[in-house]
Amino acid sequence: MTRILLRPAVGSDADFLFSMASNPDVVRWVGDGNPWNRDYFDERFSRALSAKDARTPDVQRWFIGTNDDRHPVGLLSLIRRSDHFEVGYWVDPDQWGRGYAGELIALAQDHTDGLPMAAQVHRANSASRRVLERAGFKLVDDGDPMTFRSPPRQ
């Protein structure tokens, strides 16, 4: 059962998202592992907000997961690639351990036109690996980062 709602990110989400992007614990497994500065965040956020069609290749769309009180709990990122969607997610550290990452992944399927999803996860990020495995993703490349892929939705 899903306890969260998913909606496109809007400008008023900037402070919430930047609080995660600038948190070393949240981004330790993203990119170079360093917190994002405000300029870098603003550039990425602006690009994500300007993306209107999730079907456009290589365009990143950001969605916000909210709880029953409409309080934001996390970010879902989707990027259309040639034959799949690349998926990423952050959960607000105050909400860790409540299953929200798995719910974000489940809700992502509503935005993938039935295509499979893929995610890259650093080997040491065992929590994220478990989220993907519970969501039905299979390991397809065990380098570092590891690549997981979901089956296409029927």
Q: pLDDT tens across 39-96, in order?
A: 999 999 999 998 876 667 788 889 999 988 889 999 999 999 988 999 999 999 999 9
Residue 147: name the closest of 120, 115, 117 by CA. Answer: 120
The identity of residue 36, as a single letter, is: W
Could you tell me the pTM of the whole model? 0.91
Question: Do the Cβ atoms of 90 and 20 come closer than 8 Å?
Answer: yes
pLDDT of 149 reads: 97
| Alpha carbon distance 65, 20 (integer Å) | 13
Question: Do the Cβ atoms of 118 and 87 come closer than 8 Å?
Answer: yes
